[in-house]
Amino acid sequence: MKKRIFVLNGHPAPSSLNRTFAETYARAARAAGHEVRISHLDDMDFDLDYGLAGYSRSKPLEPALEGLLSDIEWSEHVVITAPMWWGSLPAKLKGAIDRAFLPGRTFDTRVPAGKMPKPMLSGRSARIILTADTPRWFLSLMYASPIIHQLRGHILRFVGITPARFTYFAGASHPKEGKIDKWIGKVKRLGLSAA
């Protein structure tokens, strides 16, 4: 069954392994007959600082952030490639989320007192492809996988994007010979199956 897939390369640099993964996934998904849109964080121009505090005085969204939201709203499956820096997301990617995921667009606060806001992006799934230097077992054992909990629970589930599945590539700064080709092959298979 064909899917509408939005791929976001969440690395702030113009050239990166994350960009390679995003483009590999997008090409494979298109080859399998899926509709695909792709964006690169590096190409997006916006003020990443929310800045004004409180949702009643939020800044108007720049065209790049409006485009980001439109692509997510259009999609049935969201794919984000990103590096893990200091146990979390790059500042520009987190800034895009802080600025764009606003009430009335991604969640609804018009609920009874004491109730959680209602997600507004339900009906979408996600694949997060993370690169890191920290081995996955160490991230889990020593730090309880904060980036995964943040993305899956605090961000994606909160706005209704579920399930969110993760692919984690460790040793990304200095990969062993042949490792990148194996990773690219895995990402290609994910794209072909729209997983």
Share of the chain residues as helix, strand and coil, in percent rounded to the nearest 5: 40, 25, 35
Entry pTM: 0.94
Domain ranges of the chain: 4-193
The predicted-structure confidence for 105-162, as pLDDT tens digits, reads as follows 999 999 999 899 999 999 999 999 999 998 888 888 888 898 999 999 999 999 999 9
Residues found in the chain:
195
- From the number of C-beta atoms within 10 Å of its C-beta (0-12, 13-18, 19+), residue 3 rates as middle
* 15: three-class secondary structure by DSSP: coil
Amino acid at the residue 129: I
In the CATH scheme, what is the code of domain 4-193? Answer: 3.40.50.360
Q: Mind listing the pLDDT tens digit for each residue in 53-80?
A: 666 777 889 999 999 999 999 999 999 9
